[in-house]
Amino acid sequence: MIWPRLFTAMATPFTKEGNVDIISAAGLARYLRDHNSGGIILAGSTGEAFSLNLNERQILYEAVRGATPELPIWMGTGTNDTRATVELSTAAESWGVDGLLVVSPYYNKPTAEGLIQHYSEVGRHVHCPLMLYNVPSRTASMVDAETIATIVHRIPGPFSVKEASGSLDQIMQLRRILSSEVPVYIGDDALYLPGLAVGAYGVVSVASHVVGNEMLNMTKAYLAGNIALAQSIHDSLWPLFKQLFVVSNPLPLKWLLTRLGLIGPWVRKPLVMPEDQVFESLLQAYVYAKQHLATDSLQDVPGLENNRDRT
């Protein structure tokens, strides 16, 4: 099983009329590949999964798969209803996705036993790799490390965790109780480098849309033991990490991608794009990161020949 170090949770481009823009989606996927994303996850939080129906998910997947056949392409299929999650997951697997991102159920706040049964039911119906997505800021419930460990033991196939609770303590607990064969991914770019230091394997990134090369270079430097260089890259990227969440994701990201000419600015309600002045500091942070990290010498950092390692 090949696990990318750097997944990008890809934004879903829309047309002005509100349809999925498959031409822009294919172009964005190629751009991510060319800037060192090792895998792409569609229909996550950044991809506005809340607004995508089954047909739209399929055409989005087919566009991205056709544009980047060499990359692992995963699909977000989690909902707060187990039956709906199973239906989405089995459909996505039938299309040929390489893995499924399954967010913990939101709004209804299930008990630990409910979470265990939810994921176990998904695991009974699909055979491709799964990634449990713990993001209590969006779901209103925390999946603790012990519950995750129980879920892992119930799932027969390859399994990973996207940990977006913002807690390094949770990451340390996961690394203590999970097998090394279960990669733990950071779901918050600003915590990626600290997460590596306490045992995380990789990142499911938003910032890699625009600083993918720099994110990989930070990973390379850390894995090569050049902690000072990794810290320096992190320090240059940190303002951008924060500004990408100045309002709800993916609004800042889509605004910046529009400025870079990669996609259009359109989102689906209830998301509404703010006025440009909201993002003045975001643009400054992007320019700052690019200016401070504009050197080809970073590409020579040894220790990671590419961003897809085998575990």
Q: Considering 162, 192, 201, 286, which one is annotated as catalytic?
A: 162
3-class DSSP string for the chain: CEEECEEEECCCCECCCCCECHHHHHHHHHHHHHCCCCEEEECCCCCCHHHCCHHHHHHHHHHHHHHCCCCCEEEECCCCCHHHHHHHHHHHHHHCCCEEEEECCCCCCCCHHHHHHHHHHHHHHCCCCEEEEECHHHHCCCCCHHHHHHHHHHCCCCEEEEECCCCHHHHHHHHHHCCCCCCEEECCHHHHHHHHHCCCCEEEECCHHHHHHHHHHHHHHHHCCCHHHHHHHHHHHHHHHHHCCCCCCCHHHHHHHHHCCCCCCCCCCCCCCCCHHHHHHHHHHHHHHHHHCCCHHHHHCCCCCCCEEEC
pLDDT of amino acid 167? 95
Q: Considering 133, 185, 201, 222, which one is annotated as catalytic?
A: 133
Annotation marks residue 162 as catalytic: yes
pLDDT of amino acid 295? 54
Query: What pTM, to 2 d.p., does this model score?
Result: 0.94
pLDDT of amino acid 296? 43
- The strand pairing partners of 296, in sequence order, are none
pLDDT of amino acid 294? 81
Annotation marks residue 192 as catalytic: no
User: Which residues of the chain carry a pLDDT beneath 70?
Assistant: 295-311
Complete domains list, the chain, with CATH: 2-310 (3.20.20.70)
pLDDT of amino acid 89? 98
